[in-house]
Chains A and B, each alone.
Chain A
Amino acid sequence: MEIKEGYFYTKEHEWVKIEGDTAKIGITDYAQHKLGDITFVEPPENGKEISAGSAVTGVESVKAASDIYSPISGKVSGFNEALENEPGLINESPYDSGWILEVKIKDESEKEKLLTAEAYREYTEGLE
């Protein structure tokens, strides 16, 4: 199970990569593994204000439909349009070409509440 250093994580198995005032968000290798082949990703509403922990969009796999919770508060500023034709990118490359959305960060201090790679590794090991 790959966990990428330098990213932040949540217990809902999302990752966040912070680049300046923007947060790039996706689901972890653990999550894509549990969900199985992803078949559809719902484009989130651009410009929508979201608060940390609330559902911002959803993904569907052969096994289930799951909500994606925003790890951080802010405004939706981007969506990985490549997923519309190739939702399988999430399975192939969950941390890079399988990213899902971008959010303009509202409150940088929320970062403190996210898990580090090390903390997330410990958390997932506890689940097995």
Chain B
Amino acid sequence: MKNIFEISVKGRKGFDPGEADENILEKIDKSLLRKGELVLPEISEFDAVRHYMRLGRRNFSVDENFYPLGSCTMKYNPRVNETAASISGFASMHPLMSYIDEASVQGALEVIYNLSFLLCEITGMKKITTQPYAGAHGELAGIMLMAAYHRKKGNNKKHIIVPESAHGTNPASAAAAGYDVVSVPVDESGDMDIEAFRAVIGPETAGVMMTVPSTLGVFEKNVSGIAELARENDALMYYDGANLNAIMGRVKPGEIGFDIIHMNLHKTFAAPHGGGGPGSGVVGVSEKLSGFIPVPEVIKTPGGMYGLNFNVKDSIGMLASFFGNFGVLLKAYTYILMLGKEGLVDATEKAVLNANYIMKKLKPYYDLPYDRLCMHECVFSAKKQAAKGVRALDIAKALIERGIHPPTVYFPLVVEEAMMIEPTETESKEEIDIFIEAMEEIARLAENEPERIKNAPAGMPITRPDETKAARELKLTCL
């Protein structure tokens, strides 16, 4: 398929902006003028519509296909969320109005205030900032809050402990915030190796970053003991909430000793994602970190009006313009209100049930390295199939051929030939059974006719792109 510049025809127009003001060039500061030529595709509106419709048809999306991409939580995005986000009062509002005239944006401020309240209730935290734009941004915010806390107390902290079963972004965020990273292995049951943890935690530990449930899809059994050891060393407990959908409504991270949490509203709270955003990495903190949160904080005055508080004494400052991705906040707020307390608990329980159903059904066919009750996702290894030359990547390709998005493969790194399957609560038993049958069929073919799997996918617009070449010869422009 041609890219949009390749279908460009000199002189063709899709939009007429009209004549520019006569003296326009004199009105604009010279430093702001473009130096080179403006390169845009020259196409009609119809060309553009067709181009993007065609591209869209070649896409694999959760609206069309089962999408068990572990860790990414590709659940259904309810259309009512879109309705809420398109209400013109919200959609056409300018965020600057919150600084100029609070009274004119009471509805939006109320949404932020109420959402923060609900997220505090769900997580057991004391304060929320909605500013971070996505998960990794939330992690950085969380570690900055941690650093501010230690600075204020005059603590000499050097490193952050991260178990191997945490998300890969955790060590990256800790390092980006200036800490050394100490990695701790997992034991044979998939929990953090507690002896190895004891050996490294000490007075120089700033914090412990945990993903609960972990990337192995299991709930850390020693979490309370770990939190206690952290407390003894005045190290803060960081909860990576990317997997919050496995415990939402059932367990409050604040009550098991966590001080900081980031949530991916675009995962757990069903805002669309997968196309690179927009996301929301809302951060919650416990009482002892409440004085450090970013400004402005949305507050409710005694008179019942909503307003902004810039006076947070030890605030780490602003992390984003205004309040983060407001549209995503609105969708998450709608999602929580539509489901209600019982609905949220039900979603959590079904997510866990669905993952365990798949784990049980596929166990006879694929190696299961951590054979215990899983949470919202299960992790298999394609070790058995690899012995026949069929690797996790080949299985992923064979699933595409069968109209199913592959699970996450080769992650977590601690599992060889990993396949990380997260069905989410929004899939029916019928859909899940189709996936299970496909996986069974692939396992049988891998055993008897491995070539058929190794040559998959047949009949797709793109079959086996050269991933090595793409990484070695990076080309980021389409011109």
**Which A residues are within 8 Å of any B CB, using their own CB?**
37, 39-40, 60, 62-64, 87-88
What are some 19 contacts across the A-B interface (CB < 8 A)? A37-B467, A37-B468, A37-B471, A37-B472, A39-B468, A39-B471, A39-B472, A40-B471, A40-B472, A60-B471, A62-B467, A62-B468, A62-B471, A63-B410, A64-B410, A64-B413, A87-B472, A88-B468, A88-B472
For B471, the chain A residues whose CB sits under 8 A away are 37, 39-40, 60, 62
Q: Closest residue of chain B to A55, judged by CB?
A: B181
Interface residues in B463-479 (C-beta closer than 8 Å to A):
467-468, 471-472
A-side interface mostly: loop
For A63, the chain B residues whose CB sits under 8 A away are 410
For B468, the chain A residues whose CB sits under 8 A away are 37, 39, 62, 88
Interface residues in B404-457 (C-beta closer than 8 Å to A):
410, 413
Q: How far is the CA of A88 from the CA of B471 in the complex (A)?
A: 12
Given A40-B471, A62-B468, A88-B468; 16 other pairs, CB 8 A cutoff? A37-B467, A37-B468, A37-B471, A37-B472, A39-B468, A39-B471, A39-B472, A40-B472, A60-B471, A62-B467, A62-B471, A63-B410, A64-B410, A64-B413, A87-B472, A88-B472
Most chain A Cβ neighbours within 10 Å, of B410, B413, B467, B471: B471
Query: How many residue pairs bridge A and B at CB < 8 Å?
Result: 19
For A39, the chain B residues whose CB sits under 8 A away are 468, 471-472
For B413, the chain A residues whose CB sits under 8 A away are 64
Q: How far is the CA of A60 from the CA of B413 in the complex (A)?
A: 13
Task: Say how far B43's CB is from chain A's closest CB, in angstroms.
Answer: 35
Q: How far is the CA of A26 from the CA of B472 in the complex (A)?
A: 20
Task: Say how far A33's CB is from chain B's closest CB, in angstroms.
Answer: 12
Interface string of B66-78 (1 = CB under 8 A from A): 0000000000000
Interface residues in B185-224 (C-beta closer than 8 Å to A):
none
Q: Closest residue of chain A to B410, judged by CB?
A: A63
Q: How far is the CA of A64 from the CA of B392 in the complex (A)?
A: 14
Q: How far is the CA of A40 from the CA of B410 in the complex (A)?
A: 18
Q: How far is the CA of A64 from the CA of B468 in the complex (A)?
A: 12
Task: Say how far A57's CB is from chain B's closest CB, in angstroms.
Answer: 15
Q: How far is the CA of A87 from the CA of B410 in the complex (A)?
A: 21
Task: Say how far B173's CB is from chain A's closest CB, in angstroms.
Answer: 15
Task: Say how far B384's CB is from chain A's closest CB, in angstroms.
Answer: 13
Q: How far is the CA of A40 from the CA of B413 in the complex (A)?
A: 18
Q: Closest residue of chain A to B392, judged by CB?
A: A63
Going nearest first, the 9 A-B pairs with the smallest beta carbon separation are A39-B471, A37-B468, A63-B410, A62-B467, A39-B472, A62-B468, A64-B413, A62-B471, A39-B468
Q: Closest residue of chain A to B472, judged by CB?
A: A39
Interface residues in B375-425 (C-beta closer than 8 Å to A):
410, 413
For A37, the chain B residues whose CB sits under 8 A away are 467-468, 471-472
Most chain B Cβ neighbours within 10 Å, of A37, A40, A60, A87: A37
For B410, the chain A residues whose CB sits under 8 A away are 63-64
